[in-house]
Amino acid sequence: MTYLSALLLIASSLIPAWLLDRLLGDPPQLPHPIVFFGKAISWGEKRLNRGNHRLAKGAFLALGLISATALATWSIERGLSHFSPWAIVPLDLIFLFYSLAGTTLCREVRMVFDAVERSEEEGRQQVARIVGRDTSTLSAQEIRTAALETLAENLSDGVIAPLFYYLLFGLPGILTYKMINTLDSMIGYHSARYILFGRWAARIDDVANYIPARLTALLMLLVSGRLDLLGFVWREGKNHASPNSGYPEAALAGILQCQFGGPHYYFGELFDKPYIGNYPRELTLQDTKKGIRINQSVELAIIFLVLALRPLLL
């Protein structure tokens, strides 16, 4: 296959998927394939997360579901490719569309800032849709901070990482990553219930996001013309409980000249997180508009990178 024919093959699924995401986001009326991942994880967690050997049981669930996802999607892709390289395009388009979360995230963050302008209580209810922390006592500033932290962190999880693994491994890469990420989002917590059972899921997610998180931060600095912040991001990105989430958060904090992090409650337990950045100023609607512009520019940049590099791997 020539580079041009491979480029056309990739573009025929990636560009329509990206355009559909920009137009529609995640349509709530359509069944989301990732929901099935969540149901499988929930089913396994209810049956295995009890009694003794919870660490081993959690490892069994995580490794089993990840392996099954990789094997199933690889088998489907290989089977379709026997008919024609183009046979995989419709499936790629569907799962790329459902795996890109950029538009929905930007909408949700904008809605948080609009809601908190009306009242703190409305802002708390809105931000609870996109964060895992306890939002019942958050101030207006904490609500805005939580929304922008999520905007930066989920740019990596919801856009860059899926496309990074699609670039390397195609459809099996993107769906296997989504299983890894879904496992972490459901059981990868440091709470009493999941500290042992979810440890493998959390560690696998840490490994899977190591490069994408740092690539996200770099692209954020590139599109904003702030490569001078590389040292800041390298230093402040380590100030996070996660080995990865701090880097895109530090990039956005540096670009906006604000401060993220600090102590938060999760499932009734206080986690004393360090601060990222040294500018504890009041956040405004202009900050979310700038953050959304950066997210959209980074998304466009990674689309071009995939289009340029993926054909070389086919």
Calculated CA dihedral for residues 286, 291, 297, 303, nearest 10 degrees: -150
pLDDT of residue 270: 59
pLDDT in tens, 37-79: 999 999 999 999 999 999 999 999 999 999 999 999 999 999 9
Distance CA 98, CA 225 (A): 30
H helix or E strand, kind and range, residue 219: helix 199-224
What is the pLDDT averaged over residues 244-270?
84
Averaged pLDDT, 133-146: 85
What are the domain boundaries of the chain?
A: 3-312
Angle (CA) 254-283-289 rounded to 5° is 80
Residue pLDDT, tens place only, 199-243: 999 999 999 999 999 999 999 999 999 999 999 999 999 988 889
Give residue 189's pLDDT: 84
Q: Supply the pLDDT for residue 34.
A: 81
Cα torsion at 186, 187, 193, 195 (round to 10°)? Answer: -150
Average pLDDT, the chain: 91
Residue 195: the pLDDT is 93
**What is the rounded distance in angstroms from the CA atom of residue 210 to the CA atom of residue 200?**
15
Over 70: is that where the pLDDT of 265 sits?
Answer: no
Q: Give the three-state DSSP class for 4.
A: helix
Q: Per DSSP, what are the bridge partners of residue 260?
A: 276
Contact status, residue 310 vs residue 15, Cβ threshold 8 Å: no
* pLDDT at res. 26: 78
Helix, coil or strand: residue 275: strand
Inform me whether the pLDDT recorded for 267 exceeds 60. no
Mean pLDDT (whole number) for 275-295? 91
* Confidence at residue 29, expressed as pLDDT on a 0 to 100 scale: 62
- Rounded to an integer, the average pLDDT of 292-302 is 96
